[in-house]
Chains A and B, each alone.
Chain A
């Protein structure tokens, strides 16, 4: 009986066997993804949606949430604290992004050619990338201390004096935290540029040299255009990360003096975890999402474009 069935239904049997293999594979796939889907679902996706919902309520920790529609967003538009944090965030990003990227390019160009101590210099530039920004920010605060800080002492020697100290001076606190941000990240972008430089065929430079082109034309006509892709990626990555500035600001100025260094993340922290206005803080954090989302879309578009070209 078994033989007759197998012979008669051979094509069907093969198809169901293939079907059951496919089903087995699908079941395995979902099992493989189960822990991830649970964690992402409960601790990332749900809180994200919850943040959106909370931003339409007046939720404060000790009182239940009440729906207030666009109330928080209207408040954002008229809240000078939010305007201030938005301006500070954009100001921080607009200065540190181009400065870091330009310095990184300069360092990469210099360290791409053979020179004595090259390995040491590369390592020194990269070390800040791997260490904790919160921790080194403590050392930076000390360096800038008006009474016993070595850096403020040296700066006073060359005529740059700040009586109250950099971090307490409303016009110098932001440059100070920018400096630390640049110092921390420049090595990261330098390494990305070095990778880009190494992918440029040396034959191009040899040909240019045969034609008598000097250093500047070589950079202008070969290096810069061929690094354009890399530059775009680095600028987007740098902008995304500078919009989220927090660590050194928390340690060095705590957003002060007079909120001069309060960024959007810093404001979310203050409004959410110091003043416990969860609904309003959620609205502030969604403003950050919008800013970063635009940049991320650019990044995705960039990757798509690149995928086509190569």
Chain B
């Protein structure tokens, strides 16, 4: 009987491990395919029947990326776009959140309701008038056109306000009695306490903008201002598809995000679990 039970448990253990492994491989399969293809010579990529792993390895596809795409340019554009938006948005979001969570003033309720309403409206509805507005400003295909409309974000304000409400205010009240200015209290006392929330939000802002397709697709018109997702998606649509270099470029686009994610996985997953944002 005990023997049977142990045997059953061992079978069950092997079974669940096998299922888990199968699920993991299935989820990773497109990424494995991407990496494997990027290392295959052209002849293997177009051969039939297709194979998952390369028989001969080559880095030709990686060097080939630069012959077909201004990859460095696209990469830098993406860094500038996602980086600037993240830093500025954290600053402006937190300043507004501080006012809403900590200061007393008339009209606070109205501002907060405005934030809540904007939280519900899908950004796609603003696309057309926004394009029109930026065209009038001469901001199409410029960094300011890409960045300025994203400098602040209703979700970021809401998220940080909720966080600030949850931390004690003793220190601030003491500083206020001592006559510290509101800016000093915000910068020296509240921001250091909010670092965990700022890191989580910063990650989401960075990831969202690094990965975004629709917005850079519309606001940028050529490679001088395109980001990687927009640049690669358009390259795929316009040319006879050369999957080797395209997969190599994709690997180089995804790699920073994946490495970064694996390093900070815990915080990131905790952020998703508590807020439900991505």
A residues at B contact (CB < 8 Å): 22, 24-26, 28-30, 32-33, 35-37, 39-40, 42-48, 50-51, 54, 107, 110-111, 115-118, 120-121, 123-143, 147-150, 153, 183, 187-188, 191-192, 194-195, 233-234, 237, 240, 243-244, 246-247, 250-251, 254, 265, 268-269, 272-273, 278, 281-282, 285-286, 288-289, 292-293, 296-297, 300
Count how many chain B residues have C-beta atoms less than 8 Å from C-beta atoms of the other chain: 98
Q: Which residue of the partner chain, among B21, B120, B207, contacts A296 with CB atoms under 8 Å?
A: B120
Sorted nearest first, the 6 A-B pairs with minimum C-beta distance are A195-B273, A50-B129, A26-B105, A124-B24, A296-B120, A43-B149
- Asked if B223 is an interface residue, CB under 8 A from chain A, the answer is no
Main secondary structure of the interface of A (DSSP, over half): helix
Nearest neighbor of B260 in chain A, beta-carbon distance: A130
Q: A110-B20, A132-B210, A134-B213 are in contact. Are A39 and B151 (CB under 8 A)?
A: yes
- Contact: B272 with A192, CB < 8 Å? yes
- Asked if B1 is an interface residue, CB under 8 A from chain A, the answer is no
Chain B 82-123 interface mask (CB, 8 Å, partner A; 1/0): 000000000011011011100111101001001010111111
Residues of A within 8 A of B28 (CB): 124, 127
- Asked if B80 is an interface residue, CB under 8 A from chain A, the answer is no
- Asked if B131 is an interface residue, CB under 8 A from chain A, the answer is yes
- Contact: A139 with B250, CB < 8 Å? yes
Interface core residue of B28, B129, B250, B272 (most chain A CB under 10 Å): B129
- Asked if B50 is an interface residue, CB under 8 A from chain A, the answer is yes
- Contact: B149 with A288, CB < 8 Å? no
- Contact: A132 with B105, CB < 8 Å? no
Q: Which residue of the partner chain, among B24, B104, B130, B207, contacts A22 with CB atoms under 8 Å?
A: B104
Beyond the given A36-B96, A136-B34, A293-B121, please list 12 additional residue pairs across the A-B interface where CB-CB is below 8 A: A28-B181, A29-B104, A44-B154, A116-B13, A132-B211, A132-B213, A136-B250, A139-B33, A148-B46, A247-B214, A286-B125, A288-B122
Q: A128-B27, A288-B122 are in contact. Are A117 and B128 (CB under 8 A)?
A: no
Main secondary structure of the interface of B (DSSP, over half): helix
- Asked if B141 is an interface residue, CB under 8 A from chain A, the answer is no
In the complex, what distance in Å separates the CA atom of A188 from the CA atom of B246? Answer: 27
Residues of B within 8 A of A240 (CB): 122
Question: Restricting to B33-63, which residues have a CB under 8 Å from any CB of A?
Answer: 33-34, 37, 45-52
Interface core residue of B125, B152, B269, B274 (most chain A CB under 10 Å): B125
- Contact: B129 with A282, CB < 8 Å? yes
Nearest neighbor of A180 in chain B, beta-carbon distance: B30
Q: A43-B149, A131-B258 are in contact. Are A272 and B272 (CB under 8 A)?
A: no
Interface core residue of A22, A25, A118, A128 (most chain B CB under 10 Å): A25
- Asked if B220 is an interface residue, CB under 8 A from chain A, the answer is no
- Contact: B182 with A47, CB < 8 Å? no
Q: A32-B186, A139-B31, A188-B272 are in contact. Are A51 and B126 (CB under 8 A)?
A: yes
Residues of B within 8 A of A265 (CB): 124, 214
Chain B 230-271 interface mask (CB, 8 Å, partner A; 1/0): 101100110001010011001001100110011001001100
- Asked if B65 is an interface residue, CB under 8 A from chain A, the answer is no
- Contact: A121 with B236, CB < 8 Å? no
- Contact: B269 with A191, CB < 8 Å? yes
- Contact: B133 with A130, CB < 8 Å? no
Interface core residue of A32, A35, A240 (most chain B CB under 10 Å): A32
Minimum CB–CB distance for B210 against chain A, Å:
7
Chain B 145-156 interface mask (CB, 8 Å, partner A; 1/0): 000110110100
- Contact: B124 with A43, CB < 8 Å? no
- Contact: A123 with B128, CB < 8 Å? no
A-B contact pairs, 23 of them (CB 8 A): A32-B182, A40-B154, A46-B133, A47-B130, A48-B125, A48-B126, A50-B129, A107-B23, A118-B20, A123-B265, A124-B25, A130-B268, A134-B229, A139-B37, A150-B33, A247-B229, A250-B213, A265-B124, A272-B127, A272-B131, A273-B218, A286-B125, A297-B120
- Contact: A125 with B23, CB < 8 Å? yes
